[in-house]
C-alpha cells in the first residue's frame, strides 16, 4: 500500500504512543487507512500477546481499538473540515471514553483486521465504532469517544517532551 497511514501525519512531538506512535520502537506502531467510508488497520499479534494458550490478551485488543479509534477520529475531523491531514494546526485526538465488548475469544497467530465506522463528528468530539475480526469473524466490538487536543495544549506537550530529552542527556 503506497498511501500514507493516518499515523504518518502525526507531528513528531505527538508520535510516541505505545499503540500508534512511529517514534516508539517497542510499541505496536499500528497503521490505519481509509477504505471507502470505513477505516481499516491490520495487525499481527506476536506470541507474547497471549492471554491463555492460543488466544490474544484482551488488553492488547482494547489498546488496538483505542489507537485505531483516535487515528480514525483525526482523519474524520480533517475530512469533515475539508482539510488535508498534513495541514496546520494539527488535529490530534485523545480517548475520552473506550467501550470494549469481547464477543468471542480471539485466536493468536492470525492477522487481526480492525474496521472503524465514524458515528459522529460534532465540534471537538468524534465517535467511532470499531470491530476486530479474524478471518472475517468479528471477535471484539468497541466504541471510542475521542476529543481533540486543544491547540493551546500543544506547546505544553512540546515543552514536556523537550524537558524529557534534556533529562535523558
Mean pLDDT, range 83-104, rounded to an integer? 95
Percent of all residues in the chain with a pLDDT value above 90, rounded to a whole number? 79
Q: What pLDDT sits at residue 159?
A: 53
The position carrying cell 514536556 is 160
Identify which of 17-21, 116-120, 156-160 has the greatest average pLDDT: 116-120
Mean pLDDT, range 117-136, rounded to an integer? 97
Residues 9-41: tens digit of each pLDDT: 998 888 889 999 999 999 999 999 999 999 999
Q: Can you tell me the distance from the alpha carbon of 142 to that of 136, in angstroms, rounded to the nearest whole number? A: 16
CB 98 within 8 A of CB 65: yes
Which residue segments constitute the domains of the chain, with CATH numbers given? 6-168 (3.10.129.10)
Q: Can you tell me the distance from the alpha carbon of 32 to that of 70, in angstroms, rounded to the nearest whole number? A: 10
Q: What pLDDT sits at residue 5?
A: 97
The position carrying cell 480514525 is 72
Mean pLDDT, range 46-62, rounded to an integer? 97
> Is pLDDT above 50 for 165?
no
* Residue 53: Cβ-neighbour burial (10 angstroms; 0-12, 13-18, 19+): exposed
Share the mean pLDDT of the chain. 91
CB 84 within 8 A of CB 13: no
C-alpha cell at 26: 517497542
Mean pLDDT, range 150-162, rounded to an integer? 63
Q: What pLDDT sits at residue 162?
A: 52
In a 3-state reduction of DSSP, which class is residue 33? Answer: strand
Where helices occur in 82-141 by DSSP H, the ranges are: none
What does 96-152 look like in DSSP terms, one character per residue? EEEEEEE-S--BTTS-EEEEEEEEEEETTEEEEEEEEEETTEEEEEEEEEEEEPPGG
What CA–CA distances, in Å, run from 129 to 36, 52, 153, 160? 15, 27, 27, 32
Amino acid at each position: 500500500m503506497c498511501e500514507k497511514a493516518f499515523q504518518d501525519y502525526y507531528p513528531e512531538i505527538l508520535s510516541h504512543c505505545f499503540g500508534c506512535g512511529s517514534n516508539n520502537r517497542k510499541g505496536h506502531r499500528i497503521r490505519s487507512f481509509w477504505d471507502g467510508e470505513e477505516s481499516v488497520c491490520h495487525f499481527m499479534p506476536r506470541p507474547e500477546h497471549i492471554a491463555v494458550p492460543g488466544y490474544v490478551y484482551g488488553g492488547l485488543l482494547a489498546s488496538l481499538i483505542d489507537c485505531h479509534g483516535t487515528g480514525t477520529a483525526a482523519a474524520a475531523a480533517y475530512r469533515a473540515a475539508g482539510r488535508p491531514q498534513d495541514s496546520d494546526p494539527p488535529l490530534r485526538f485523545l480517548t475520552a471514553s473506550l467501550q470494549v465488548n469481547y464477543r468471542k475469544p480471539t485466536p493468536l497467530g492470525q492477522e487481526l483486521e480492525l474496521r472503524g465506522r465514524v458515528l459522529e463528528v460534532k465540534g471537538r468530539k468524534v465517535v467511532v465504532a470499531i470491530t476486530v475480526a479474524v478471518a472475517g469473524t468479528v471477535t471484539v466490538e468497541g466504541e471510542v469517544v475521542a476529543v481533540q487536543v486543544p491547540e493551546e495544549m500543544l506547546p505544553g506537550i512540546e515543552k514536556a517532551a523537550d524537558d524529557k530529552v534534556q533529562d535523558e542527556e
